[in-house]
Structure 1
Amino acid sequence: MNKAKPTSPFRLASLLRLQKDPKLALQLFKNPNPNPNNTEAQPLKPFRYNLLHYDLIITKLGRAKMFDEVQQILHQLKHDTRVVPEEIIFCNVISFYGRARLLEHALQVFDEMSSFNVQRTVKSFNTLLNAMLTCGKLDRMTDLFQIMEKYVSPDACSYNILMHGCVVSRRLEDAWKVFDEMLKRRLQPTLVTFGTLIYGLCLELRVDEALKLKEDMMRVYNVKPDAQVFASLIKGLCAVGELSLALGFKEEMVRNKIEMDAGIYSTLINALFKAGRKNEVPGILKEMKERGCKPNSVTYNALISGFCKEKDFEAAFTILDEMGHKGCKANPISYNVILGGLCKDGKCNEAKDLFEDMPRQGCNPDVVSYRILFDGLCDGMQFGEAALILDEMIFKGFVPRSARIHSFVGQLCEIGNVEVLWSVLSTLIKGNVLILIHGEL
């Protein structure tokens, strides 16, 4: 009888790569050479793991958020005298904890690196900074940055992460201070640096400053803008009504062969409808097709929103149907835009029909759907229907806006509709929805 060959280190690495199930991968890692049920079989020697094995299993477990198991593997690594750990292993673990919003665990791993005889370089500090950014802890990022300078020299990536934290916290002036400090340290700003600042300026609608910075990044620093920079500028220009300039940047992207995504086209479609230039929208859609850019749900929702604002509900429904034919499933936003348009135009019956059709189309109404229809029925004085929707809404676990409930009850009191009033109060009590009616009842 032929003996089964023991698994080699190379073979184990291949098997770990191929195994998609993290639990099975862990079993394989722990027991690469299971002993057969044979009492005469000689026990195998302890398996000689290498750093790649630890890297592969930690990555699989981290992505699956199996953090207890990650800690077990780290404990084994710590006591495996034949393997010398490297910084990248710990950077990966810190990143996984950051994405899971488990910052304290990330800090603990960072602090324990020295016990593995692993030196912390700027890379591990940057990884921890990024974990703090993901968790929205700007103050702790600033504290770490100050501590960091005692051990390593921050690089451009360090400053970019801190700058990004300032921007997403809407502290743009602090981001500029970080940029100035970066220049004082004679660090070359990167594309990420300028992309972050331009995004922040456009977010604050300081588009003129963003345009100047775009020119400076090319002229002074010889850094060419990418699609992300153009996307920020186009969105900012559309927000302040500078549609012609936004379209000009689109043409610049075409000339420079910079690929545009559906998000940029969707922004322009929204702006064209807003500016009353819907006749130019077909040209945008044609260009998307020619450039191989497939419309996504955001694009279709922009079209639906535009047509609803024009009260062209037939065109909006056509787009809704087209989404299904093109393999882009309509989401609650798609339906809610039409529901809102119909209710605003006083077409509550049509809105109710669409609402009832949503589950049949594979899209269940969300809390916004219920609120739109309930508000529309109340505005349309269809109080009996509104009461039914309110009952269904609360049964599904959704909560109506308190101001609208207050108004609804007030309307019922004003017209003396006692039957519907008591039905509504019963629904509110049954659903534990507390309201304040200012002593009217």
Structure 2
Amino acid sequence: MNASKSLSPFRLSSLLRRQKDPILALQLFQNPNSDSTPQPKKSSRYSLLSYDLIITKLGRAKMFDQMDQILHQLKQETRFAPPEIIFCNVISFYGRAHLPDRALQIFDEIPTFRCHRTVKSLNSLLNALLRCGEFEKMWKFFVGIEKYATPDACTYNILMKACCSNEYLDDAWKVLDEMSRKGIPPNSVTMASLIYCLCSNLKLKEAFTLKEDMARVYGVPPTIFVYTSLMKGLCKIGEMSLAFRLKEEMIMRKIKPDAAVYSTLISGLFKLGRKGEVFGLLEEMSEYGCKLNTVTYNAMINGFCKEKDFEAAYKVLDEMVEKGCEPDVISYNVILGGLCQEGKWSEANDLFEDLPRRGCTPDVVSYRIMFTGLCDCRQFREAALILDELIFKGYAPHRLSAHKLVEGLCREGDMELLRTVLTSLGNGNVLHVDTWAMVIAMVYKKEKLSNVSELVDTLLVQ
């Protein structure tokens, strides 16, 4: 029998690029022969591109143990040194998966691959730590940053975003000042992040001053994101005339308003009870060729639900479908929340059960809305059913809602359902100590000592 012919590095890379299944791609990489007989690995089969392709596929699929094996194999290569971008991507994969320690580890190991670290991998690490919420590790790392690389505008933008995420406004201003001291000019991302944070905290005077300074002092013209942030701040305090004036300023500066701008204005009009003006905005959107998207429709749905006009909200859903804009889970969650707040739990439950037929999969927010709503309406048996499904899907209920359900069952003396609920909470590892203490106290107070004993047994089983 003739020996099977090995794939060339070029052919292997071509096949890897076309293979969508990461598991099959890995099998192909590990055995790049035309038959299924394992062959001794020959490093000459693998090009830098093939390594890059398989690492990317495994990282996107979160197959990190397999990706680590490929990285270990890459470390043994002597024919070439991998470029830094490969490690930037790996760090980003770990960041998206909320694995900060692995991101730090691969950053430390970059030199062992005969690759020089620059500000690119440094920024990738900082961004991964930011995504993971590891702010303390970010700051500790930044203190000695000079020994790794010289920070650039992107570095400071990541720090600015971290400050704004935590609403550390004083620290955000310090980041801007340090950029000036080091001669690193802030860019539109820097300014947009700071202005967004100022507007979120309703420090609109400072935000508008910074907007003017963007062009006058820093030579950076305001972007559409800056205008949208300012409009959101103005809408929150009911200054719609100023918000509309900003929109006109955008148009004058040849910045075309997008759906986010109009959605912000629509939400503001609904908040002030001026829904009659919304249709004029929708006509203007059409004139500018700005197509309504899910965000715009959701703003309208939210507005109608705030006014308790659920019939109009449902009509918006129907219009979305007619216009080819598929409602998302947020569209339905807004209506579910509105119905539950109005005590229309039966209607909300009907809509919730109808979501799969409508092509929408309920998310954790959907379940929490229904569970909280049913508890508030004292529909404890229905709430227990939702709780069981919620726990089964790996979600956790809001602590106060779970406490309210248990308290209600204790007061009603429904010991059988109470035991079922406690079991569900125990299975989900979300049975809090204070809730359990409340159960023991209330049941003991009613002198149902045997029931207390049974409940203690239930807890011990969990």
Question: For residue 182 of structure 1, what is the aligned residue in structure 2?
Answer: 179
Q: 1:57 to 1:250 in 2, by over 3 A?
A: same
- 2:100 is equivalent to residue 103 of structure 1: yes
What are the ranges of 5 or more consecutive residues in structure 2 without an aligned counterpart?
A: 392-396, 426-434, 447-462
Q: 1:387 to 1:21 in 2, by over 3 A?
A: closer
Q: 1:6 to 1:314 in 2, by over 3 A?
A: same
| Equivalent residue runs for 1:326-365 within 5 Å | 326-331=323-328, 333-342=330-339, 354=351, 357-358=354-355, 360-363=357-360
Question: For residue 386 of structure 2, what is the aligned residue in structure 1?
Answer: 393
Aligned partner of 1:143: which letter? K
Once residues 40 and 342 of structure 2 are traced to their aligned partners in structure 1, the CA distance between those partners, rounded to angstroms, is 80
Deviations 1:9-59 (A, max 9, x none): 33332222222112222222233334688xxxx999763433222222211
- 1:223 Cα deviation after fit: 0.9
Deviations 1:122-163 (A, max 9, x none): 222111111111111122111111211134221111111111
Question: For residue 372 of structure 1, what is the aligned residue in structure 2?
Answer: 373
* Aligned pair partner of 1:295 in 292, 296, 299: 292
228-237 vs 333-342, greater mean Cα deviation:
333-342
Once residues 41 and 168 of structure 2 are traced to their aligned partners in structure 1, the CA distance between those partners, rounded to angstroms, is 61
- 2:128 is equivalent to residue 131 of structure 1: yes
Question: For residue 11 of structure 2, what is the aligned residue in structure 1?
Answer: 11
Count of residues paired in the alignment: 419
90-99 vs 336-345, greater mean Cα deviation:
336-345
Q: Contact 1:332 / 1:366 at 8 angstroms: preserved in 2?
A: no
* Aligned pair partner of 1:264 in 261, 268, 279: 261
Once residues 281 and 300 of structure 1 are traced to their aligned partners in structure 2, the CA distance between those partners, rounded to angstroms, is 11
140-149 vs 400-409, greater mean Cα deviation:
400-409
TM-score by length of 2: 0.80
Q: Contact 1:339 / 1:373 at 8 angstroms: preserved in 2?
A: no
Q: Contact 1:13 / 1:53 at 8 angstroms: preserved in 2?
A: yes
Aligned partner of 1:92: which letter? N
Once residues 44 and 78 of structure 1 are traced to their aligned partners in structure 2, the CA distance between those partners, rounded to angstroms, is 15
Question: For residue 49 of structure 1, what is the aligned residue in structure 2?
Answer: 46
Aligned partner of 2:208: which letter? L
Q: 1:341 to 1:85 in 2, by over 3 A?
A: closer
Question: For residue 30 of structure 2, what is the aligned residue in structure 1?
Answer: 30
- 2:417 is equivalent to residue 427 of structure 1: yes
Once residues 76 and 337 of structure 2 are traced to their aligned partners in structure 1, the CA distance between those partners, rounded to angstroms, is 62
Question: For residue 430 of structure 2, what is the aligned residue in structure 1?
Answer: none
Q: Contact 2:196 / 2:226 at 8 angstroms: preserved in 1?
A: yes
Once residues 43 and 355 of structure 1 are traced to their aligned partners in structure 2, the CA distance between those partners, rounded to angstroms, is 56
**Secondary structure of the structure 2 residue equivalent to 1:431:** helix
**Secondary structure of the structure 2 residue equivalent to 1:88:** helix
What RMSD, in angstroms, separates the aligned Cα atoms of the two structures? 3.2
- 1:329 Cα deviation after fit: 4.2
What are the ranges of 5 or more consecutive residues in structure 1 without an aligned counterpart?
A: 379-385, 414-420
Question: For residue 76 of structure 1, what is the aligned residue in structure 2?
Answer: 73
Aligned partner of 1:201: which letter? L
* Aligned pair partner of 1:149 in 146, 150, 153: 146
- 1:70 Cα deviation after fit: 1.6
- 1:407 Cα deviation after fit: 7.7
Once residues 387 and 362 of structure 1 are traced to their aligned partners in structure 2, the CA distance between those partners, rounded to angstroms, is 28
- 1:2 Cα deviation after fit: 11
Q: Contact 1:9 / 1:49 at 8 angstroms: preserved in 2?
A: yes
Deviations 1:329-374 (A, max 9, x none): 4455444544554565566665565556555545556231243244
Question: For residue 382 of structure 1, what is the aligned residue in structure 2?
Answer: none
* Aligned pair partner of 2:209 in 191, 208, 212: 212
Q: 1:135 to 1:290 in 2, by over 3 A?
A: same
* Aligned pair partner of 1:323 in 317, 320, 323: 320
Question: For residue 226 of structure 2, what is the aligned residue in structure 1?
Answer: 229
Q: Contact 1:218 / 1:224 at 8 angstroms: preserved in 2?
A: yes
Deviations 1:279-300 (A, max 9, x none): 1111222233344444344322
Once residues 353 and 168 of structure 2 are traced to their aligned partners in structure 1, the CA distance between those partners, rounded to angstroms, is 45
Q: Contact 1:19 / 1:25 at 8 angstroms: preserved in 2?
A: yes
Deviations 1:102-127 (A, max 9, x none): 11111111111222221111222111
Once residues 283 and 64 of structure 1 are traced to their aligned partners in structure 2, the CA distance between those partners, rounded to angstroms, is 46
- 1:387 Cα deviation after fit: 4.2
Once residues 340 and 45 of structure 2 are traced to their aligned partners in structure 1, the CA distance between those partners, rounded to angstroms, is 69
